[in-house]
Amino acid sequence: MAILDKIVALAKRRGFVYPGSELYGGIGGFWDYGPNGVELANNIKRSWWQAMVHDREDVVGLDSAIIMNPKVWEASGHVSSFTDPLTECKVCHQRFRADQPDEIEAHTDKHRHEGQKSVAWTEARQFNLLFRTFVGPVEDNSSLAYLRGETCQGIYVNFLNVLSSMRVRVPFGIAQIGKAFRNEVTPGKYLFRVREFEQMELEFFVHPREATERFTYWKEERLRWHLSLGLQKDHVRFRQHESTERAHYAADSWDIEYDYPEWGWKELEGIANRTDYDLKTHGKWSGKDLSYSDPLTNERYIPFVIEPSVGVSRLFLALLIDAYKEDDKRAFLQLKPSLAPVTAAIFPLVANKPQLVEKARSVYHFLKKHFVVGWDDRGNIGKRYLAQDEIGTPWCVTVDYDTLKDDTVTVRDRDTTKQERVSIDRLKEYIGAKL
């Protein structure tokens, strides 16, 4: 079985990711995060927020509405040009992105293997990715609105609000984590290209003359963060966009790419120098002055924007892939402990001895005040270990007959499978220190 198939199966079996609306046959490009998936995703987002907002003095946070005045999307250029080239297979009428040669080739090969001699494609036409909806009870052009295609537009339209309500001075950044929606022509590659996803975006406002220096700084900073989550150094790299592939607003764009098995190097995070394009266009369309006046020099200018932007699901998938380990005895997720959905799982050795269960419950309730802990009293201990290994739980704590005598428990390490006897009154410090 290919590694990705194993990960998809594990993610479903262990409550990380389920196909969206599976009960009704699913819906392409939408996935649901199960109990363990939502913990992992929250830990990723928490780590990003910590690094990008709380650990810094020059970034503030924001949570803007998903649905905005449709003029936002006209001004940003999304209504006219947030498009992908769409081509249709003339054999089966399935549609694909014309700019993804590997997918076109794979589909063409599939038909050839089925015995089709010639596989033709329609001329590519542009397809707009914005999801449309209507605000209020009347469904016509006057109530048309869009689900946001990227979170950063909510930051630009709040630039003045943040400037006037917070004690910030350029250079500074506004960070946001939130849902984005794209009606992708070909969602696929599991969580890689989906239609509903979360973005973690920073818009960092700088003086135009400092843009290049800040751009270099953020590139390095973002790579450092990915490595700090445990991604392997040789699985990530930078790639600069060719001028032909750069978005219309960008003067320079680099991707941090991840080497996904089967698909190869693909974009994990994009870092762009968006110049003054966004503030300038929103200024023009709204009729408001979005320039900044430097209180020290009195210079007035429109700041440039440096934007690192990463999708939670792409990173979630990369982390699962990097963490997945197997040997002849077991499969386990070697997640960084602070990212793991469960920090410690508590087991009574057997479930039918009330004294053991009661003692284990007291350990469980005590640790629950400090960490995310799980409970399992089903089956034998070996099977419980295997289940926790697949969730990536770094430590399993077993309460046994000796616990009743000496108040110690067995702590089993996920990575080494080594077991250690630890006294209950040291357990919190023991786990805390390793975490």
- Residue closer to ligand GAP by CB (options 88, 257) is 257
Torsion of CA 279, 280, 286, 288, to 10 degrees: 80
- Residue closer to ligand GAP by CB (options 87, 186) is 186
Least Å distance between CB 269 and ligand GAP?
5
Least Å distance between CB 203 and ligand GAP?
8
- Residue closer to ligand GAP by CB (options 183, 334) is 183
Helices (H), 184-324: 211-228, 277-286, 312-323
Do 239 and 252 touch, CB atoms closer than 8 A? no
DSSP sequence for 152-215: HHHHHTTHHHHHHHS---SSEEEEEEEEEE---SS-BTTTTB-SEEEEEEEEEEE-GGGHHHHH
- Residue closer to ligand GAP by CB (options 152, 424) is 152
CA distance linking residue 235 with residue 277, whole number of Å = 33
Least Å distance between CB 335 and ligand GAP?
19
Which residue shows structure tokens 């999708």?
311
- Residue closer to ligand GAP by CB (options 86, 397) is 86
CA distance linking residue 142 with residue 128, whole number of Å = 19
Least Å distance between CB 192 and ligand GAP?
6
CA distance linking residue 435 with residue 429, whole number of Å = 10
Residue 342 amino acid letter: V
Least Å distance between CB 344 and ligand GAP?
31
- Residue closer to ligand GAP by CB (options 108, 253) is 253
CA distance linking residue 24 with residue 22, whole number of Å = 5
Least Å distance between CB 311 and ligand GAP?
3
What residue ranges bind ligand GAP (CB under 6 A)? 150, 152, 182, 184, 193-194, 197, 199, 201, 267-270, 307, 309-311, 313-314
**By beta-carbon distance, which residue lies closest to ligand GAP?**
311
Question: Taking the CA of residue 19 as centre, how many other CA atoms within 13 Å lie in the half-sphere pointing to its CB?
Answer: 13
